[in-house]
Copies of this chain bind each other. A is one copy, B any other.
Amino acid sequence: MSEPVRIGLLGRGTVGGAFAALVSERAEAVEAATGRRPEVVGALTRGEGDFSDILERSDLVVELLGGTDPARQYVLDALRAGRPVVTANKQLLAQHGEELFAEARAAGVQLRFEAAVAGAIPIIRVIQESFGVTEISKVFGIVNGTTNFILTEMAATGAPYEDVLSRAQQLGYAEADPTDDVTGADAAAKMAILARLAFHTPVTLEDVAFEGIEQVTPDDLAYAKELDLSLKLLGVAERREGGISVRVFPCFLYSGHPLAPVGGPFNAVMVEAPAITEVTMSGPGAGGPETASAVLGDVVSILAGDAPVHETRTTLPVVSDVTSSFYLHLEVADRPGVLAKITQVLGENEISVKSVVQRGIGDDARLVMVVHECLESRFASAVEEIARLEELRAAPRSIRVIEEEFV
């Protein structure tokens, strides 16, 4: 019988527990696939266990602690000691990726992290390996299940954000402190990782502009429905003239868009490149078993053979002002000439209107429109100018739109 492979497990929360159980359950399959039987030796929690002891007794380290401290030090130490590392820690990679990848290359061992982005969807492997030499132009999608669940529920029930968030917490789709998810910070970390791999350039969390979903109103969702639009929290990493843009923002999609039907806690990521047109992958974005399964896949890959560690090939600047299409929601005085005044301001800023819905009368009059793609800075100036019009009864609200309509 061959030597077993000893896995040093750091972290014993939901995912850690699911991973330990999965290793026992699939030990035979792992042995059939790689010739070596896996076993978990020691499990460190934040309070218990000795890291040096676990490191000493393991052939490979799985880091599921979360957070950057002490995870960063443990991963660095493990790599330096020549242990391949598998981690599900998106913040660690988004903030300290450059340092960790350099250490792994120096030590000549693998650093794998499939579970850090999009749960069961093997997007890391596909971007790094299948499309590793493809000139990717854009990676975008729904990479946070909590917010997608909340937006799906808001659209379905018409309930306000706070109520749906409570429900999500009760059902276990949102954490007690949901800040990271609802502000877009979690999605931003994932997009930093995807952008780095897709474009072979250093990207950290600080390069990602992000907005969350706290400001979304049932109102916006209802009006948007009339325009055949549904709302998603999108992460977008794309090449733009002169560099790249990596952002997270709530965004309307037309009903035919491949991401429009992705509901509930599911994630979905699209990769675009001239050579492949577009490839879309969707599936459960989180969950103990799904994440554990992605971690085990990485362990098996390490046992199966060598693979290069990520290395940047270029340094692309982050473009700050990009073009977007927008939904614009205006509460206006019910008075002749309002639409003309507003469209004049838009026209002066070279912004053209794609569609308008005019609703309500008197104190409830609203203009809801979608404008074609324009430079975001120009749109911001136009909205500022519109906000100063005496006909406006409330501050304008705007949300980005992906204009592409699929048949």
Chain A residues packing against B (C-beta within 8 Å): 22, 26, 29-30, 32-34, 114, 120-122, 125-126, 129-135, 200, 256, 258, 261, 263, 273-284, 287, 289-290, 292-294, 296-297, 300-301, 304-308, 313, 407
Contact = CB atoms under 8 A, between A and B. Distances in A.
Contacts of A293: 131, 134, 273, 275-276
A292 B275 contact: yes
Contacts of A313: 29, 32
B276 A284 contact: yes
A308 B126 contact: no
Contacts of A301: 129
B278 A131 contact: no
A75 B296 CA distance: 33
Contact of A290 (B34, B122, B256, B277): B277
A263 B258 CA distance: 11
Given A279-B282, A280-B282, A282-B258, A126 B133 contact: no
Contacts of A407: 263
Given A275-B292, A305-B306, 19 more contacts: A29-B135, A32-B133, A32-B200, A120-B279, A122-B279, A125-B125, A125-B129, A129-B300, A130-B294, A131-B293, A132-B297, A133-B296, A134-B293, A276-B283, A278-B283, A280-B280, A280-B283, A305-B305, A305-B308
